[in-house]
Structure 1
Amino acid sequence: MDASEKIIRFDSYEALLEEIQRDMNNGDPICCRYPVRFIMLNNFNVWHQLAQDLACLGVQPLDLEELIKDSHERWITTDELSRTIKACTVTSVVTPFSELVRFYSDTNFRGFFNEIMLTEDIDRPQKRIYIPLIGLQNRFNNFLNGFARIEESAPVWAYLTEEHKTKVFLTTIKNETDAFAGHENIKCLNTLYDWLRFWKTHAPQEQIICSSGPINRKEKFSDPDNIFTFEYIKNSYEYIVSFLGVSIPFIYNETEEKYWSLLLADIIKSDPAVFNLSTFISNHLGALLVSPRDLFYRWGQADTTPYDRWLLKNYFLTSASSEEFPYLKICVEELSAYDDYCELHAKVAERIFYVYDSTTQKKYAKEREILIKDSAIIFNEFINEATKDYLKTCISEIAQNDVQLAITLTTGVFDFEKVLLLAWYADSDQTGLKLEDAAKKYPDLGMYLSNLKPSEKKKDNWHLDYLEAYRDAKLHNVITESVASYIKTKNHNSDSFYGWYYSFNETHDLLHKHAGVTDMRPDKIYWIDALGAEFMPYLLSFFKEKGCGYRVAYSEITRCTIPSATAQNRFDAVSKFSELDAIAHDSKGYKKNISLVKELRELFSILRKIVDSNTHGEHTIAIVSDHGLSCLSCLAESKKYDAKVEHDGRYIKVNTNGKIYEDADYIVHVNENDGERYKVALTHSSLGRKPVHEVHGGCTPEEVLVPYIIITNKAQNLINYKYELITKEVEVSEPVITIAVMPQPASVTLHIGNNKYSMNRNGRMWSAQVDGVKEGVYKAEFTIPGGTSFTVEVQVNGTGFGGNDFLDF
């Protein structure tokens, strides 16, 4: 006899149930010898119906899961199962049975059935033990065909309908028992206990995933299986994609499994059926990522977790932005240290130097520069000194062979880059770096060296030329011939010095004067200690270019009193900034280019603070200073007077009341504020030892002259004037420029270069004679207080003259 002869097949469920009822009442000793009845099924719905009908017939359930109720992952061996079945004293149905036995090895499977098939209970001949074999027909048929006592063994019944395969996902990933609460279509079975209980009452309508350790380990023994198809989920990525059916465009990396596990948990918490990755990341991070700047900012935040950074990386790589920024894409692809809040910024800064091919470096240089510049504050915060040293070394090494490439790879964001740019511009004859190009990299340099002039000009504007020459000397760190010539002329002695000293308004006097002028009266005064007139172009550029809501209503270069020190020029009841003065007195001393970079950075910060502190309401603000600074005294040989010097030898306080003779090195001056007498250095040579810092206290223009500006955010109600140039061409011999203005103003001023001319009225015509002009084309600007201005070109004709002494606007 073989299996096909042993198995009794039924064409209907009703026929099977009738046979069970007939068998229950059959007292034939041969039928009652073996109590076990095997029922082969391949449909869980049929099984659940049979379980109900058996209960109605008084059959008691033998619940196998109760064997492990105190240890849900304990494996039920064949010996324990056999003992449990043999211990039954009443008619019972073993449930679930096949959901356990299918995982026995072939040896254990055959051993168990060899024993249980011939189990007898002569004391209870009417007892029946019903054992459902669901989906095990192939394995059981194979067993029967090899079973020696098949003919005399217990009966085997079969009711087999059309097979319906059930897919079960297996994984070692554990979820909370109620992880899928609310998701009725998903069943998560974490233990063997859960697995056994589930099949007693459920027909597999759901997605099923089982993370029971014993089942995962023994699933390999279940083949062949007529009802289950097992698919193993090796990691969280497969769990998300294969089981939950959620599409994730990230590339899986085994080393990042812990982050995939966190993402899986987050997807389960939401509704996998409607999960949207972009929406999730935006909600999770609290912001929509729309630009590289968002990426840089969020990456470096203290509350950004390694998981958040992993999401950020992969979100960017799968977004359209990754194609718009190919260099950034390369950098982001290489990120792996998600606990390092600086890794992204460092990678973007230094990745371009990992290759030595200049063509590749040039290809990505512009994008890299834009990325870093657009997030300059972020990069300066998160790039550490070690990375900056590496960048500096790379750029410096490149500059030795290809300075143009080095310039291209410089962003102008980091201080060391600014120092390099200053040096390259100062050496423009060799590097070819023009101011226009340097300013694109380092805007503060362009502002510092801009040609903007104060609104109040003097008849003789030599000081503007001197300050320009001083800035150039500062960049080159040398007392240039131009500066030396000015000092020799303007500070030759007390007469020449006082000649220009008293021609400038003293700052306190001008403040007092403006206090009585409605449009100029400041409601706030800010004192920037050590802000010299060398920075006037920077100040004017800042309020012109930065879009800060304030405009310059008035600007003039004024003077302090000498000695040009704070004690003699302080301001009372004002807000003070001391950062520039602190740089000058830094114990490390003055450093070429480095100190200027620090000064420009601090000045920008100060001006930003002033603006940001006055965003509400309308204000008129005065910005003043007590003195300037000179870096050139560090280069001039000291005079070394035997006296108690102050401020690095820039002046000596004179205690005697006797007559003191002046010297070519100093003047004797009674300060206007404290009434004390001082010997004050006339030139860059100090009266004590040679300074190592920027100094103040002396008589040089950069120490004495300071910027004075009035800014306001009040609406500017300008009168709209109409101008008509009458003399489009004038002769050198008779250089009279005439213009018609309507409506009639009270006054008109003509500006050509650094020269200012008051125009005379004749009816509706205004004229001014501009002596000293040479043949050429000049830009003429006409201004009216409280009104619109007008700029136009004027042709000057003549013979025997050439060139243009005037600076362009």
Structure 2
Amino acid sequence: MDITGIIENIELDLERNGSYDRYPVRFFSMKYAEDTANSIMKLRTDIEKISSCAVEIVDIKDFLPHEDGWVTVDNFRKHIKSLEDNKSYVMVGFSEYTRFLSNAEFITMVIGLLETENSEINYKRRIYIPCFALFSQIQKTVKENHRRMDAYNPFLNDVNVEDLPIIYFINEALDNSGYENEINNSSEWFGMWRNPEIDVEKPIICTSKILLYFYGKACPDNVYNIKKIMTYEELLQYLYGIEGILPSKSSTDEYYRQLLKILKDNPNSTLQSIILKQLNTLKISDDNIYSLWKNTNEFGRWLIQNYILRYEHTQRYLCYMMNSIDNLSAEGFVECAYTAIFNNKDDSLVNERKKVIEGIGKVESIAFSDRMTMYYQKYISDIVKSKTTYDFTQICFEKEAELENCDSEKISCVIEKEVAPILTDVSGFERRLMIWLYRAGLVSKDKIKEIYRGFVDYFEVDDLDMEETVYTDKLIQYFEIYRKSKILREMATAYDNELLQWNEDENTFYSWYTDVNLEYPEVILKKQAFEGNTYVLDGVGGEFLEYIVNALRKRNIDVDYCAYSKSHLPSITSVAKEFYNMKNTWIRDYDKNVVHGQIYYPVICMENSLKTIEKMIDKILIEEGDNSFAITADHGSTVGHKIFKREKKYSFVHADHDGRCYKLSENEHQQSTVDYLSYIDEKNREWLISLNEQSLNNNSKYIVHGGATPEEVVIPVIIAHKSNTQSRTYKVKIVDVKVSGLDKKVIFKINPKPDKVRLQAKDGTDILMKYDTLQKVWYEELERGIEQDIKVTVGSQEFIFRTVPTTKMGDDLFDD
């Protein structure tokens, strides 16, 4: 009720006689607001205008013996009786006072007030008591205990506002982090209506020891229950309405204090917006959560954890992670991202999990902890054993899978159905696991391609627009066999047989090595008039040419030129440096980390090789920016001695590079054999150089180089630049444009591989061509199998060709 309404009721009340004049106390309900103090003052003034006597404000606060004192019910009644007879009063602080009374004290006080009588001096004296709360309790008490309601109704209105601010006591041990709505003593509590700094719309904390004492003394029969906040969780719940915060396992109270301070500093913000602001992000998603997690402290990670649990769907993988994470470290996040799936193998979570893991991979390389490895070992072992009864207990990348006396086909089905879906290509462990499983014949190439495409790109490459020489196709075939022999054990003999085709003896070797069609990289780059930076990838042979080109294309790099070239002999770095006169930068990562960095184990070294090459390419691209650059090598390397093992045959104890070459002294001379050649280099030094898998001394445990096998000698030459799709140049080659009424299909090879190819013809054909992933060609059928011009459009380029009807060919099917 507004002041005007209250005054109208007071005016009507003053006109009454009899018991209304005998008993002065009047209660009315009033809303607490920011301008309560002004409203009380105006109320006093307006009452005085219609009264026959002066009106004063009596504040219960003034009854207190000291600042944090208390007034008993008896003393309260004495103060009421001592009020002057010739004045009316507006009593403030009544609602605040009664909050701390027991129910019995409350009834005694209310009835005592109703029994207060006016003297004969001033029957129109009134004691007005505005009630900001407990109005319904007062009404109930009066109706149950006041027998003269028909003659004297002490209520000026019947509207129960119940708007007194919510108050809480707080455990003295808690730090409320400067919460401003605070009452420190009883004097402030009773005088709250005068204090503009108290926000009555918000909960109030009371730290007065005397109020807490008297409240506790009245328990459990309080007329009004006041909650004592005992924990920081309750502080968040009752002061800010924030419930369900997941505690930290390490520093919960400290984190609560920090959060309370942030909430205080952002009074008009939601918890959701506060957390995002604290993390300096617009959102938290599968893609960026680890980046945020990694770059904040443990408090920030605790905020992220609670953000996900509060604002993400409970069935999401991130929620499942945040509920099960053991600790808030970066390592703990990575481990949980990988292993939480094992406790809830829900297929619907797999894709979300993959996005989270890929997000981690964008921030850092993932190294599996021993516990993560154990999780995978146990999961795979348990699932295989439960489905096949085979005890698949040991996965060791340094050893071959032992699958004797077992149904490998059945195991493969289990692996592809139950294990493959949870694998990614983000961590080294997973990549090695997939290579190990493929090498054991337990997972198909198609399944590997879905997960670890880079591995498949290594041994099954797309057709490249390579500079063609008489050796191009032969080397492509050789390296295809060599790559497969590194992966599949059954290819060992095929590798040895293929190597004999090239290096059966010194004559077969020299027949290709000295051929003018196979040139040194410095010669090729000079012929190409290339003047930019050349990056020499130490030890990266021709086996990786296609892999490097594909890796460049994936990074939106155009390859202008790629070809096989040859290293100088012997295939070692010091010799190459004598001849490389181009502007070059040596990158030794592969030679250091792969060739000489570890004992050769097929699975481990394969994964390490591909990862290292990817990193070297990224390093080059960062360095070069938009500039053109060239990539070559000083020599290649081989694991032929590990693929096709030979017994020890020679004892050139001073041989270099693990027995791959040996520089003879001036007094030494040797004849070539089927295993090595005697080679005199450009500086008249005589060397013995291994032609095959045979070492000149002891067999090595490592990847080696220095010999004359194609994988050691043949190296890549690539010229590339950052791609501009508007200016990308494509080459289109005819595979088949012979047509007839029954066969209307035309086929083309296009390099580099475009996203789409359009085929148009005069017969009305206008269609996008299809890509054959096996043959690496583009094909489509024309409307009619007739002689006509056809147009192939790739990007912004157009190519015109003419079909050849078989009717215009001779018996030999060649165009007459």
Say yes or no: TM over 0.5.
yes
Decide whether the 8 Å contact of 2:535 with 2:631 is kept in 1: yes
> Pick from 143, 164, 167: which aligns with 1:170?
167
Counterpart residue number, 2:72: 78
> Structure 2 residue aligned with 1:433, among 425, 429, 444?
444
**Structure 1 residues 629-665: Cα deviation after superposition (integer angstroms, max 9, x where no partner):** 1123244333341431211111122112454322333
2:432 is aligned with 1:419: yes
Which of 340, 351, 355 aligns to 1:351? It is 340
Aligned equivalents of 2:270, 2:736: Cα separation in 1: 67
Residues 771-797 of structure 1: CA distance to partner in whole angstroms, max 9, x if unpaired? xxxxxx99799x9xx998899999999
> Quick one: which of 554, 567, 580 aligns to 2:590?
580
- Secondary structure of 1:613's counterpart equals helix
Contact persistence 1:466–1:486 (CA under 8 A): yes
**Residue of structure 2 in register with 1:387 after alignment:** 372
Contact 2:182 2:207 in 1 (8 A): no
Determine whether 1:498 maps to 2:483. no
State the match for 1:488 in structure 2.
500
- For 2:750 and 2:225, the matched residues in 1 are separated by 92
Written as runs of structure 1 = structure 2, the 5 A alignment for 1:357-376 is 360=345, 362=347, 364-373=349-358, 375-376=360-361
Q: C-alpha deviations, 1:286-325, integer Å up to 9, x for none?
A: 22227421233323323571443134313541xxxx48xx
Q: What corresponds to 2:544 in structure 1?
A: 535
1:615 paired with 2:625, answer yes
CA 1:487 to 1:382, structure 2 compared with 1: closer, same or farther past 3 Å? closer
How far the C-alpha of 1:568 sits from its partner, in A, is: 0.8
**Residue in 1 that maps onto 2:421:** 408
Is 1:678 the counterpart of 2:687? The answer is yes
Alpha carbons 1:696, 1:703 under 8 Å: kept: yes
The 1:269/1:305 distance shift into structure 2, 3 A limit, reads: same
Q: Which residue is equivalent to 1:627?
A: 635
- Consecutive unaligned residues in structure 1, runs of 5 or more: 1-9, 24-30, 32-36, 120-124, 151-155, 181-186, 730-738, 740-749, 754-776, 802-809
Q: Which deviates further from its counterpart, 88-97 or 277-286? A: 88-97
Matching of residues 286-685 of structure 1 within 5 Å: 286-289=280-283, 291-303=285-297, 305-314=300-309, 316-317=311-312, 322=313, 326-328=315-317, 331-332=320-321, 334-335=323-324, 339-355=328-344, 360=345, 362=347, 364-373=349-358, 375-378=360-363, 380-381=365-366, 384-399=369-384, 400=392, 401=411, 402-404=414-416, 405-428=418-441, 431=442, 433-434=444-445, 436-451=446-461, 452-453=463-464, 455-460=466-471, 461-476=473-488, 480-503=492-515, 509-518=520-529, 521-544=530-553, 546-548=554-556, 550-570=557-577, 571=580, 573-586=583-596, 588-616=598-626, 619-634=627-642, 635-657=645-667, 659-672=669-682, 674-685=683-694
Supply the RMSD in Å over aligned alpha carbons: 5.6
Larger radius of gyration: 1
Task: Give the Cα separation in 2 of the matches to 1:480 and 1:639.
Answer: 20
Q: Which shows bigger deviation, 600-609 or 575-584?
A: 575-584
Q: Which residue of 1 aligns with 2:102?
A: 105
Question: Deviation digits for residues 375-408 of structure 1, max 9, x if unmatched?
Answer: 5334744864532442344235545353222233
Q: % of aligned pairs identical?
A: 17
What is the deviation of 1:559? Answer: 1.1
Q: Aligned pair 1:210/2:201, yes or no?
A: no
Number of aligned residue pairs: 683
**By how many angstroms is 1:574 displaced?**
1.7
C-alpha displacement of 1:344: 4.3
Instruction: Mark the CA change 1:444 to 1:663 in structure 2 (over 3 Å): closer, same or farther.
Output: same
Shift of 1:459: 2.0
Specify the SS of the correspondent of 1:593. helix
Cα distance, 1:373–1:305 mapped onto 2, change above 3 Å? closer
TM-score in terms of structure 2 length: 0.68
Aligned-partner Cα distance in 2 for 1:512–1:432: 44
C-alpha separation between the residues in 2 aligned to 1:232 and 1:665?
91
Unaligned runs of 5+ in 2: 1-7, 31-35, 385-391, 393-410, 741-745, 752-774, 780-791
User: Would the aligned equivalents of 1:569 and 1:626 in 2 still touch at CA under 8 Å?
Assistant: yes
Q: Deviations over 1:416-473 (max 9, x none)?
A: 2212221222333xx3512x33122112112211333561233244332221111111
**What SS does the corresponding residue of 1:527 show, helix, strand or coil?**
strand
Aligned residue for 2:783? none
The amino acid across from 1:491 in the alignment is N
1:331–1:344 contact (8 Å) kept in structure 2: no
TM-score normalised per structure 1? 0.68
Q: Which amino acid aligns with 2:590?
A: L
